[in-house]
């Protein structure tokens, strides 16, 4: 990632305006509350939270598995793994 480009983009009102518009539309149409949220062709959506970054070739595999489960089984509303106390 080019951090300098990211900083320039974050300071650009046109880019921020486009992001704000997209966010407002996503909230209104899909009830989105966080990222990443996957939105499917049928209008269904799924928010995903990962425990850690997935890098390299494995990232595509994880993404494809997430999409496969979320898109094919709309009855699953949440999968949450409890954390053991320290």
Q: Are residues 9 and 41 in the same domain?
A: no
Answer yes or no: is 11 within a domain.
Answer: yes
Answer yes or no: is 83 within a domain.
Answer: no
- Write out pLDDT tens, residues 39-83: 988 888 899 888 899 999 899 999 999 999 999 988 888 888 778
How far apart, in whole angstroms, are the C-alpha atoms of residue 45 and residue 58?
A: 23
Mapping DSSP onto H, E and C, the string for the chain reads: CCHHHHHHHHHCHHHHHHHHHHHHHHHHHHCCCCCCEEECCCCCEEECCCCCCCCCHHHHHHHHHHHHHHHHCCCCCCCCCCCCCC
Which residues constitute the domain of residue 27?
A: 1-31
Higher pLDDT among residues 74 and 3, named by residue: 3
- Write out pLDDT tens, residues 11-20: 999 999 999 9
Domain count, the chain: 2
pLDDT for 79 equals 82
**Mutual orientation of helices 13-30 and 3-11 as an angle, nearest 10°?**
80
């Amino acid at each position: 990632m080019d951090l300098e480009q990211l900083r320039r983009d974050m300071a650009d009102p046109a880019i921020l305006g486009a992001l704000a518009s997209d966010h407002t539309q996503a909230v209104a149409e899909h009830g989105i509350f966080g990222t990443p949220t996957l939105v499917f062709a049928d209008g269904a959506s799924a928010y995903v939270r990962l425990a850690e970054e997935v890098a390299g070739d494995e990232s595509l595999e994880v993404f494809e598995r997430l999409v496969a489960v979320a898109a094919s089984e709309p009855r699953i509303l949440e999968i949450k793994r409890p954390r053991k106390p320290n």
